[in-house]
Structure 1
């Protein structure tokens, strides 16, 4: 086996093993993101090894076996997000009934100046609620013209790439801006009132990613995500959580969020819907999320065209249907999960 192929194979296997080290430092967390990319590379390398460099020594056989096991494990991890996986949230049988709620999430990329593209997108998508993140004062000025159609608003324009703009054609009630973990990273909590009068508790968030130029550890991000999970779990109202979580759908933090909150991920059983990075085809991950409680069905989920940002907008249409609770399958937390969540929450308290 060629030396490069030998050591590259070791690197691929190590990239899967590193996330098992549950440390908050960015180098351990960042390897959780490219699971699909690792699977593709692993499959290609294993094929090359078996076809062109069939193992002839014990070390080469060990590497080939490690690649095979790694491929099986990565397939197991990714399978729930393929169309062959089991759906957590059932599809709506009557998708155009009254209590539908269509939401649009758009990380606009603060320096992006294609605001006109977002106006066109909003007209085409026709959402009930719009969440835009990485929005500063310039973006607010560009988007406020939709106020006639979306009169209910909560706006936190910031120049640090963590501003948020929330526009709604449905009434918002008891809306508040929170700074749950860090003084300059906002989140939004509000009720959305459906046409029937039903209240929906909505949480919007955009925590920092664990990357050196932002935050070298995932502690604050994980804490904010899990704080929202606890709020969702104790809510007496139907819940929707949405935003750019800066975490992939299959990471152990997002899975822990699902177990603690009991919320459903519409991606499961339907596809990856990779929303970042819009500029690089091979480096795409599902970072922009919508989760909902068990009393919703899914009328539609789409990744929309890029509007100059490094994120694709996401559009999800949910239907409030309390009977769906009988058919949806929420994730369940064990005592170990609750202990891990509490441990992570205690780090910044």
Structure 2
């Protein structure tokens, strides 16, 4: 028992430290995902050490390392708990013409429960809907909402990276772009709030760094940071939404926030783990909606599963430029900017 406890403890400590190595190879990046899971396992191991006290010097060293590792993991998780500081304040006014209700759903291309999504859309009644992993079959199923959502951008694909975008609100300058890879689309479009205010939206779904998709995170990181640069230079209020295939606490996502100046509504409110809907203990926050500091938050909710491996996410934002001074806008230092430039210049061939 002591030997098994020792080796499992060493593995958890290694899994916690590996993400500190900023390498693009998937084996380093994938350990960023299960932060909460590592914390839970760390607590379980410490309890086991209490029942089976260490005997050898090595076991005692590892036991002490587990205590330090627990503190490190709590430090990492804390910003996404209810005790953490909120980056974006709650809305100060009732929902009105300056609000925009967004629904994002990774449908899982082979899923056939389209009726569940249609019922969800009717119940949630979003102003803007983004669905990813959508092919021609999914477009045909969802197009029945076309009368209610007359403004549309669609790029259905059979490679699990298709996108369909529906809006009740007026659009302008909508474009489908292939920023990094020729078969991975993104969307850029301006949306007009009912108050008349225009807002710039970016919609993303880059490849994850996993062996069966892409062994490196280089392309994903580059696309995310390209949008960060665009958001930083945009004169309009900005919203970025999509399945980024990256967790909210990874150093790439944090770098995205610092470069773009965009806020994460989950900070100080909870994890809102959107993947994997099929496995309770293997859930991570992969579906994101970020916004500029001139928004406040009217509501955020993880919706019920509709047969996909992702839960849909619904976020209600309120444009309120007077609140900008109350929001905690992230700022990039010179080291952050240098790292971002290195990632943007990285060879993706």
Residue 330 of structure 1 aligns to a residue in which SS?
Answer: coil
Q: Assess if the C-alpha contact under 8 Å between 1:95 and 1:319 holds in 2.
A: no
Counterparts of 1:313-328 in structure 2, within 5 Å, are: 313-328=312-327
Q: Assess if the C-alpha contact under 8 Å between 2:134 and 2:163 holds in 1.
A: yes
Q: Assess if the C-alpha contact under 8 Å between 2:131 and 2:164 holds in 1.
A: yes
| Deviation at residue 196 of structure 1 after TM alignment | 1.4
Which residue of structure 2 lines up, in the alignment, with residue 295 of structure 1?
Answer: 294
Counterparts of 1:270-349 in structure 2, within 5 Å, are: 270-348=269-347
Q: What's the TM-score, normalizing by structure 1?
A: 0.99
Q: Partners of 1:348 and 1:198 in 2: how far apart? A: 39
Counterparts of 1:77-226 in structure 2, within 5 Å, are: 77-226=76-225
**For 1:313-333, what per-residue CA distance to the aligned partner results, in whole angstroms no more than 9, with x for missing partners?**
000000001101010011111
User: Is 1:24 equivalent to 2:24 in the alignment?
Assistant: yes
Q: Partners of 2:32 and 2:266 in 1: how far apart? A: 17
Q: Partners of 2:55 and 2:175 in 1: how far apart? A: 65
Aligned residues: 348
Q: Assess if the C-alpha contact under 8 Å between 2:104 and 2:131 holds in 1.
A: yes
Which residue of structure 2 lines up, in the alignment, with residue 60 of structure 1?
Answer: 59
**For 1:33-84, what per-residue CA distance to the aligned partner results, in whole angstroms no more than 9, with x for missing partners?**
000000000000011112x211232211101111000000000000000000
Residue 131 of structure 2 aligns to a residue in which SS?
Answer: strand
**For 1:209-241, what per-residue CA distance to the aligned partner results, in whole angstroms no more than 9, with x for missing partners?**
000000000000000000000000000000000
RMSD (Å), alpha carbons? 0.8
User: Is 1:239 equivalent to 2:264 in the alignment?
Assistant: no
Residue 188 of structure 1 aligns to a residue in which SS?
Answer: strand
Q: Partners of 2:66 and 2:47 in 1: how far apart? A: 10
Residue 12 of structure 2 aligns to a residue in which SS?
Answer: helix
Q: What's the TM-score, normalizing by structure 2?
A: 0.99
Q: Partners of 2:94 and 2:318 in 1: how far apart? A: 7
Any gaps of 5 or more consecutive residues in structure 2?
none
Q: Assess if the C-alpha contact under 8 Å between 1:55 and 1:61 holds in 2.
A: yes
Q: Partners of 1:174 and 1:95 in 2: how far apart? A: 30
Which residue of structure 2 lines up, in the alignment, with residue 264 of structure 1?
Answer: 263
Any gaps of 5 or more consecutive residues in structure 1?
none
Q: Partners of 2:94 and 2:184 in 1: how far apart? A: 36
| Deviation at residue 95 of structure 1 after TM alignment | 2.9
Which residue of structure 2 lines up, in the alignment, with residue 48 of structure 1?
Answer: 48
